[in-house]
Structure 1
Amino acid sequence: MGTPSLSLPVSPEVARALWDQVAWVSRRAKERRGLVYFPPTIGWDIPSFQRPHHLARAFTIEGFAVVFDCRNARDPVFGFKEIEPDIFLFKGPAELLKELPVTLVWCFVYNVHHRLDVTPKAPLVYDIIDTIEVFPYDRSLLERNHAWALQWADLVTCVSRALQEDFVEQRPDVLYLPNAVETWRFETYGVPMPEDPALQAFRAASGPVAGYCGSLARWFDFDLLGNVAKNLPDWRFLIIGPHLDDSGRQHPALGQPNVFPIGPRPYPSIPFYMELVDVGLLPFRGDEVLRGLSPLKLYEYLAAGKPTVVTPFPEAQGFPGVLTAGSPASFAAALEKAADMARNPEVVAQLRRFAQRESWLARVRTALDHLEPYLAFAGPTRPPVRNAP
């Protein structure tokens, strides 16, 4: 029997190599608990790891192999590439995916339609991480994906309590599955930080440090940052992260003498930069989009033992060491209070203990507990899934 043809114009030798890779990934899946497929989302090789990356890693720790689809990203992959143990990046003809023994599909609103790229027998998780308005995709596609997945997904999860409340009437079984943290990354005690020339001006100054690590976009309150920095001229404000749009690239707040924007840094290095910080900072704009927000960075600040000051949003309630403030004056006062907390070793230890319980592995195990009826099967004994034909 010859090598099956592919939709892309590749040589017979390349086609055979690609089908050999399918067999390789399939064997690995059978050696593990199964195979989890993440449809096209964001690239793997980006400065700031996000929820899909962390979940993929946690699934491998729990014994699964993972295919992380990068067809919409710039990762230099053709076919399958094992980027980390049991994590396979994929970019290539979609028909290769149909032959994989996929155990579970983990989708977001912008990629639900890619469920059709793999076997329809696999149960599907619809992970709601924000409101539709946030995503820069065709609105009609997002609405179709959302409507289908809300009705037919085997498990619907929400990253915040506010989002869970929005959908509990349509899906009474919707699961609250907030963000989390890889706590081991932030155990950097005594490890020297790599040299970074961009910190020269920062190191030449002195004073307490408020740090922000994350993307800069329309939801970031640059006006608040500028006013707080003026109110606290003896503080340093270290801003780490990429600009996702033009909303703040030229904002005067980033040019103030005690504000130090250094751009994005590789994700594995972030814990070292957090060692320079006294207090975490989340100055977000107060609009409806924040209602469903669950900042991943908040968990990472706490894992680093940093008290944090945030603008008010529902999901920030109930975290230890997190202070909320809205006006420049109250935000500045909260930073001073948080700095006092940061000098208390018992507070720092409490924050780290809290973060230890909020791991990505715990999140995956919670999801798997709810998926057990669909995953614990052998051949025809599998219970019916909610997936529509």
Structure 2
Amino acid sequence: MSQQHPRRSDVKYGSLTHVLLFWFGDDWGVFGRTYEQIALTLSRLDSVKQVLVVLPSSKGETLATSRQVISDRLTVLRLYWRPRGSSSLQLRSLGSRLKLRLEHFRLRRLIRSYGFREKNTLLWLFPAHPIVDELVRQVPAAARISQIVDDFTLVDKNDWYYPFAIDQYPRLGSMFDLIVVTSKANEEKFSVQAPCVRIDQAVDASFLADPSDFRPCGPQPVLGYVGTFWDRTNIDLLLRIARERPHCRLLLVGPELNRRLSDSGLLGLGNVEWVGSVPNDQVPQQLKRMNLCLIPHLDTPFSRSMSPLKLFQYIASGKPVVSSAVEGLELASHLIRIEGDPGSFLEAIDEELAADALEKFLERVAFAKAQTWESRVNRILSKLDEVLGPELA
């Protein structure tokens, strides 16, 4: 544990009224990711006075030009910390170095202007982050949380996350009071370094279906997938579903990070529709078009480090769900079908479509209503309170 932190019995999360949250991508409002839901939830807590979310500048914005006020207690900013497309190891021009130095000065000044002081500040960071060490040094905080959503040491070594993850992950215990994870694999990996708390993903209330949304399955059922198409997506399984169930329409929602989807031949089939990336607030409308939702993930070390957010969004829509046999499904396993081989996966689709009913629809939605971000955030903060308790004074 870092010796830079105050260890006093009076440091409780209730006294941490200001939260400074750093995410490693510029995608606020696009995917409804974990960091966004946590920030929104924190800003609604009675004990929290101010939440600042700081993202990387993807279009050259600076702290002075990018302020986005979400509410009176939540602001999103873009910090210029490196030239777009360059790594931390590449030489920077004199102008770029001066701009970076000015941003650091602005960050310190802006933090103080919002009332952030060491005694009241909770620093919440999501590694792998390009400047995690700079932020830990620069931001005075009474407590620090590191949250691992996916294990980026398991991605392709050419991905920009990889070198930062390899460097930072073994050192998190020396910098943070609490490490938050969303999978059993990450809990086992990081709990040896520091106190660790595991949470499942949750669902935003906007995804909860109304009973009037239930529709019996017709002769051309729509099978849907919502998510990013990349290394964990089983494109071959989707291709087999589309070919062997020609009476079904396959609706695909989300961006691709490589060309495996585009090059697979799947998009050329007449019963396949790919709408690409849509804003997070439009995803519930896409889910309403579906009769059944799919989680066609490959079982890999990387996928085992994840907790699929789409699982809770699917269940909130009231639709039946058929998933590959992957990690992160335990909490809702009684409500979904989990199949380990393609043949069984296809049979499960047929059976779930045939057996769907309003009673099952309502059961799924009722379950989803209890999977709130408020409950997840409260669990994290309660664990932090325990970590910062008298035993560490």
Range into which the TM-score falls when normalised by the shorter chain:
0.7 to 0.9
> What pairs with 1:163-312 in structure 2 (closer than 5 Å)?
163-171=186-194, 173-187=195-209, 207-312=220-325
Which letter does structure 1 place at the counterpart of 2:228? Answer: S
Q: 2:75 aligns with which of 88, 109, 114?
A: 88
Alignment of 1:340 with 2:363, yes or no, is no
Tell me by how many angstroms 1:375 deviates. 7.8
Does the 8 Å CA contact 1:188/1:272 hold for their aligned counterparts?
Answer: no
Q: Which of 159, 169, 175 matches 2:182?
A: 159
User: TM-score, normalised to structure 1's length?
Assistant: 0.78
CA shift for structure 1 position 328:
2.6
The 3 A distance-change label for structure 1 pair 114 and 260 is farther
Q: 1:335: Cα distance to partner? A: 0.9
Greater alpha carbon shift after TM alignment, 156-165 vs 265-274: 156-165
Q: 2:150 aligns with which of 121, 130, 154?
A: 130
Superposed CA offset, 1:90-149 (max 9, x none): 235122333421621111221233433643333111112222223833644323321221
Give 2:21's aligned residue: 38
Aligned in 2, Cα 1:218/1:96: closer, same or farther, shift over 3 Å?
A: same
User: 3-state SS of the aligned residue for 1:144?
Assistant: helix
- For residues 60 and 351 of structure 2, what CA distance do their matches in structure 1 show? 43
Q: Residue type matched to 1:66 in 2?
A: V
Structure 2 CA distance, aligned partners of 1:134 and 1:53? 23
Q: For residues 190 and 295 of structure 1, what CA distance do their matches in structure 2 show? A: 27
**What are the superposed Cα offsets for residues 166-215 of structure 1, whole Å, 9 maximum, x if unpaired?**
333444x3111121111234346669xxxxxxxxxxxxx96111111111
Overall identity of the aligned pairs, in %: 22
Contact (CA 8 Å) 2:136, 2:175: kept in 1 or not?
no
User: One-letter code of the match for 2:57?
Assistant: N
* Aligned residue number for residue 170 of structure 2: 147
**For 2:350 and 2:239, how far apart are their aligned partners in 1?**
16
Match of 2:43 in 1: 60
Q: Give 1:25's aligned residue.
A: none
What is the TM-score with the length of structure 2 in the denominator? 0.77
Query: Which residue matches 1:13?
Result: none
Match of 2:108 in 1: 98
Of structures 1 and 2, the one scoring higher in RCO (CA 8 A, sep 6+) is 2
User: 1-side partners of 2:34 and 2:385: how far apart?
Assistant: 22
Query: In the aligned structure 2, how far is the partner of 1:347 from the partner of 1:151?
Result: 47
2:302 counterpart SS class: helix
Number of matched pairs = 334
